[in-house]
Amino acid sequence: MALALSACAPGGGDAAPKASESTGSGNGGAEVTNSGLADLGDVTTKDDTIKVTVGAPEFISYNGFTPQSYSTYNSAIDDRMFASFNYAGTDGKIYPNTDLGSYEKISDDPLTIKYTIAENAKWSDGTPITTADAVLAWAVQNLNLNSGSKDKPLFSSVSTDLGDTVPKGPEGAADGKEFTVTFKNPDPDWAIQSWMLQPAHVVAKKGGLSTDEFVKAVRDGDSKKLEKAAKFWNEGWTTKPGTLPAEEDIPVSGPYKLDSWKAGESVTLTANENYYGTKPATKNLNFRFLADTGMVQALQNKDLDVISPQPTVDTLAQLQGLGKAVNIEQGDTLTWEHLDFNFRKGNAMTDKKLREAFAMCVPRQEIVDNLVKPLNPEAVVMNLREVFPFQENYKDVEAAAYDGRYDNVDIEGAKKLVDEAGAAGTEIRIGYSAPNERRSNEVAAIKSSCDKAGFKIKDAGDPKFFAPGGTQERGDYEVALFAWAGSGQITSGQNIYATGKPQNYGKYSNKEVDAAWEKLATSLDPAVHLEQTKKIEKLLWDDLYGIPVFAHPGLSASSSDIQNVRHTATQSGIVWNAEQWVRAE
């Protein structure tokens, strides 16, 4: 699947992405009545292993909620292990997960939600899932728990604003099955807030506390008492590749649990025998770490059952050449390609003239024509970040935010700006997660064009680009080439573009953008969302935060005997319903 660190999602518009039918009986007769999970009836777990790959990057951690581990590659595995109160259907629509429990809005002013955890819901080690676990989820997203200032949060979390959004946190007995949350301001994404992550009883124990003591320390804001527990949450689950944490430290709340990890090769999940919900259809899921170039051959050789390669013309042709032996899944996705500038002090791209020159020489239309249109004839150059070309309000937002200034390549104009900046010969390292055929082709196209403007474009693709301590974290690039993947969240872009947010990797800052996001994120009014989205998009173009390129076409495939494999437009990717996959008899 196309890269993507998961977070960003479109801001408004009700048009659902288009999806083609699979070229075979991929649903195996299962009843599919909406974009949610199919009704499989009574499920008996089959003693079998289904082998899947979503890409080459190594598994990082059981804790996929840190900035270093929060990617679609890691989430593909982690999301099979942890239950949430809801999930996204194939078109981004949010469905409740009744296995874990239920929730209801009990007040609009202030916005108050009541959650009820299923009586039989428990961690795989037998510990009941309770309000304490929701308190942990609140704690790790709470910047008010810190080492003296909000610049030094206790928990290194990909999401950090829940402490201010819900000041009192989950209210209810720590060992109880019911809790309420009261929002300080209206929150358009209240239904998909993360109230269930890792096990509180494990974090408490590792912090030298009982679960009740941990909950009390969180509620009291006692950061000092929580330091040891937070250190474990930050680091304790991230182990050497191939080495799983101790079994007692990694209980799960979902249908699968970690079984084995072969460094550089694969992770195997096995069915959680203590799962309280619908049993998984197949006992084992083996996630292979495989580059796109080897996926089709592995599928043909039956070394893999399901693949999610980077969509390319050659890959599609190869899959089509396998005929009825495979089912092919295609459709629009809420994932989009972009080039982001590095705003760290001393980086060449802090010079706006150079950002403008780069934008003028990037051949976006050529990239779309050569690399995307053969897969999706309706593909266009994408000019927005929060709304997709197939959504109904795209043209309206585009007209308000972007004037077409970078539609056409202008080598002479770019060269003039480079010369004015006295920057001829400046090396521009374009970093991305390698190997990736399409991205290497994108960089080659950019180099062919932008070198003529006076830049020296360097392909800085690196297998460890997104790894902890890797190129992106160190800031060793001028331009980062990757994709954000969406799941229907309205306000997730705030975590990317607002000052100091965990996914603002390039250290961009604009007070007007911050204010617009704050206004959008505290309103339930779609008109306000649209108004602020237009403002944000225009400011990001005027500043040249980065350059959007295209919305990803989706492409996955499975062996024809694997049932219930279904395309999704969301960041969950092809594995979104992997617990329903089963091999036909």
Give 23-36 pLDDT, tens digit per residue.
Answer: 333 444 577 889 99
Predicted pLDDT of residue 487: 62
Q: Is the peptide bond before 110 cis (omega within 30 degrees of 0)?
A: yes
User: In whole angstroms, what is the distance from residue 503 CA to residue 552 CA?
Assistant: 20
Residue 182: partners with Cβ closer than 8 Å, 6 or more residues away: 107, 110, 111, 112, 166, 167, 168, 171
Give me the residue label for tokens 């981004």: 92
CA within 13 Å, CB half, 240 = 1
Q: Give the DSSP H/E element, type plus range, for residue 320.
A: helix 313-320
Closest CA to 8 of 310, 336, 383, 331: 336
CB-count burial class (<10 Å; 0-12, 13-18, 19+) for 215: buried
Is it the case that residue 92 has pLDDT exceeding 90?
Answer: no
Is it the case that residue 571 has pLDDT exceeding 90?
Answer: no
Q: Are 484 and 496 in contact (CB under 8 A)?
A: yes
CATH code given to domain 101-195+199-236: 3.90.76.10
Q: Distances from the Cα of 492 to the Cαs of 209, 473, 507, 527, in angstroms?
A: 33, 20, 17, 18
Predicted pLDDT of residue 313: 87
Q: Are 75 and 6 in contact (CB under 8 A)?
A: yes
**Alpha carbon 75 to its chain's center:** 7
User: In whole angstroms, what is the distance from residue 431 CA to residue 472 CA?
Assistant: 8
User: In whole angstroms, what is the distance from residue 405 CA to residue 296 CA?
Assistant: 40
Instruction: Phi first, then psi: give them for residue 475, nearest 5 degrees.
Output: 80, 25
| β-bridge pairing 427-433 and 479-485 | parallel
Amino acid occupying residue 76 = A
Q: Which residues of 50-83 are buried (b: 16+ CB within 10 A; e: fewer)?
A: bbbbbbbbbbbbbbbbbbbbbbbbbbbbbbbbbb
Give me the residue label for tokens 């239904």: 191
E-only strand ranges, 290-389: 306-307, 326-341
What's the pLDDT tens digit per position in 6-58?
333 323 333 344 444 333 334 445 778 899 999 999 999 999 999 999 999 99
> If DSSP codes are grouped into helix, strand and coil, which group holds residue 227?
helix
E-only strand ranges, 38-145: 46-55, 86-88, 94-96, 101-108, 111-117
Domain segments of the chain as ranges:
101-195+199-236, 333-552
> If DSSP codes are grouped into helix, strand and coil, which group holds residue 105?
strand
E-only strand ranges, 193-240: none
Predicted pLDDT of residue 29: 52
Predicted pLDDT of residue 467: 83
Q: Please give the radius of gyration of the chain, using alpha carbons only, rounded to the nearest integer.
A: 23
44-49: long-range contacts (C-beta < 8 A, 24 or more apart)? 44/279, 45/271, 45/279, 45/280, 45/281, 45/282, 45/283, 46/281, 46/282, 46/283, 46/582, 46/583, 47/283, 48/282, 48/283, 48/284, 48/582, 48/583, 49/268, 49/282, 49/283, 49/284, 49/285, 49/286
What's the pLDDT tens digit per position in 248-279?
999 999 999 999 999 999 999 999 999 999 99
Average pLDDT over residues 187-197: 93
Percent of the chain with pLDDT over 70: 94
Report residue 284's pLDDT band, with 50, 70 and 90 as the boundaries: very high
Please report the DSSP string for 256-278 in residue order: EEEEEEETTTEEEEEE-TT--SS
> Has this prediction a pTM greater than 0.75?
yes
What's the pLDDT tens digit per position in 382-409?
999 999 998 889 999 999 999 999 999 9
Torsion angle in degrees (nearest 10) through CA of 237, 240, 242, 248: -30
| β-bridge pairing 479-485 and 5-6 | parallel
Predicted pLDDT of residue 148: 86
Predicted pLDDT of residue 488: 67
Average pLDDT over residues 207-235: 98
Average pLDDT over residues 458-473: 91
Tokens matching residue 256: 């699968």
Give the chain's length: 585
Q: Are 62 and 243 in contact (CB under 8 A)?
A: no
3-state per-residue secondary structure call for 389-454: CCCCCHHHHHHHHCCCCCCCCCHHHHHHHHHHCCCCCCEEEEEEECCCHHHHHHHHHHHHHHHHHC
Is it the case that residue 1 has pLDDT exceeding 70?
Answer: no
Secondary-structure class of domain 333-552 per CATH: alpha beta
Closest CA to 198 of 82, 73, 75: 82
Element counts in the chain: helices (H) and strands (E): 17, 18
Tokens matching residue 137: 């989820």
Indicate the range of 88-97, 157-166, 470-479, 482-491 predicted with least confidence.
482-491
